[in-house]
Copies of this chain bind each other. A is one copy, B any other.
Amino acid sequence: MSKCEQCIVRQFNSLKSLTHQEIHRISNCKVSRIVKRGESIFEEGETINGVFCVKDGICKLSKLSANGKDQIVKLVAKGELLGQRSLIGEESANLSAIALSDMEVCFIPKSEIIGDLQKNTNFSMDLLKEMAQDLKESDNVIVDMAQKSVKQRLAETLLYMNNHIGITEDGYIKLSLSREDYANLVGTATESAIRILSQFKRDGLISTSGKQIKIEDLNALKRVE
């Protein structure tokens, strides 16, 4: 099994602040797991008792709303941690994590890392920093959800994916989402998402090839109202 010591992914999250010793211990107890597209890593309400380090792939964090629709709150990509909140207090997961591509994740049991959180100030400060950033982003999403039109939100989602998920050599957004997932990210009906994407296509803002989407006119997308 591969070792955390050599894992580049660690550099992108707060695990980078662990000492050599700590990383070595973690490396020996972590459990690597392959998750296929569509499979769940954990579900809302579940007690997860540890964090997942995303070694490869992308997943969605979502929550089932009363009307039966899944709202995607956040996308989590390679290099990020999942389930940090489980390290703090005894809370169960507030969101479900479901793979949007094939993934490899490493599970680190809470019991093995909780001590480091208490002892290693760099680590806890780093985690604090990450949570502060998450909080800021969540607050911004609240404002967008409340104040922007569905069309704007969808345009911004496409721009977000272009920037944060990245594009292939031929310009397509690396992650192909279903129209339903786009709707669940934006908080609208699937038909509405489909309609707006069709319109973006007609207007030359994007082009598609099967499920893949390519942004053709970045500035026009930014100007969408």
Q: How far is the CA of A74 from the CA of B146 in the complex (A)?
A: 13
Query: In the bound complex, what is the Cα–Cα distance between A71 and B148 (angstroms)?
Result: 11
Q: C-beta contact mask, A38-59 vs B, less than 8 Å → 1, else 0?
A: 0000000000000000000000
| A106-131 at interface with B (beta carbon < 8 Å) | 117-119, 121, 124-125, 127-129, 131
| Cβ–Cβ contact B135 & A124, under 8 A | no
Contact status B143-A73, CB under 8 Å: yes
Tell me, yes or no, whether A79 is within 8 Å of chain B by CB: no
Q: A128-B127, A131-B131 are in contact. Are A145 and B187 (CB under 8 A)?
A: yes
* CA of A99 to CA of B132, assembled, Å: 23
Give Cα A175 to B25, complex, Å: 52
CB neighbours of A89 from chain B (8 A): 129, 132
A140 contacts partner chain B, Cβ-Cβ < 8 Å: yes
Is the Cβ of B128 less than 8 Å from the Cβ of A88?
Answer: yes
